[in-house]
Amino acid sequence: MLPAPGFAADPTATLTIHVQDLRPEGGILRLGVYDAARYPDDKSVPLASADVPVSGFETVITLHGIAPGTYAIETFQDINSNDKMDTTWLGIPLEPFGFSRDARPFLSKPDFSDVKFTLVAGDNTQVIHLQNFTGTSPTERARDALRARQRK
């Protein structure tokens, strides 16, 4: 049976991601979309990704042709453009980072259950506020924690 006119045989999703709270130092915003199988492995290849130059405090990334399903987003601002997340010797991130649902890590990245969202056929939107463990005051960290709780 053929699909009705105007309907695709395999519907796909468009995902628009608003990444906010970028740092003014610039660099490249690196973003990946993962399914449950790929998310736990830090060396896995994302199902969809984007690397965009940073200018300003917010950027919008639109990814097309993604199959509907359950996914997670990881992103970070590669300020020095060295293709990796810089960390201290203890593993604490030195560059701003974020996850879908504005999940906050505790000693390691959040579990998939804390970052997952459902992508449906058609247009979808996610908003991520970058977090930064260095260079932020206790007041800024408290504000970020409050924002994250309000979004849940």
Enumerate the domain spans of the chain: 13-151
pLDDT of residue 145: 57
What percentage of the chain has pLDDT greater than the value 70?
80
Structure tokens of 148? 């994250």
Separation between Cα atoms, residue 106 and residue 126, nearest integer Å:
22
Report pLDDT for 13: 96
How far is it, in rounded angstroms, from Cα 89 to Cα 1?
59
| pLDDT tens string 31-63 | 999 999 999 888 899 999 999 999 999 999 999
Q: What confidence score (pLDDT) does residue 91 get? A: 83
Which fold would CATH assign to domain 13-151?
Immunoglobulin-like (2.60.40)
Low-confidence ranges of the chain (pLDDT < 50): 1-4, 6-8
Alpha carbon distance 9, 104 (integer Å): 38
- Cα dihedral 65, 68, 71, 76, rounded to 10, equals 20
How far is 89 from 141, CA to CA, in rounded Å? 22
Query: What are the Cα distances from residue 109, in Å, to 25, 79, 99, 113?
Result: 24, 20, 9, 11
Q: Which two tokens stand for residue 20?
A: 């906010």
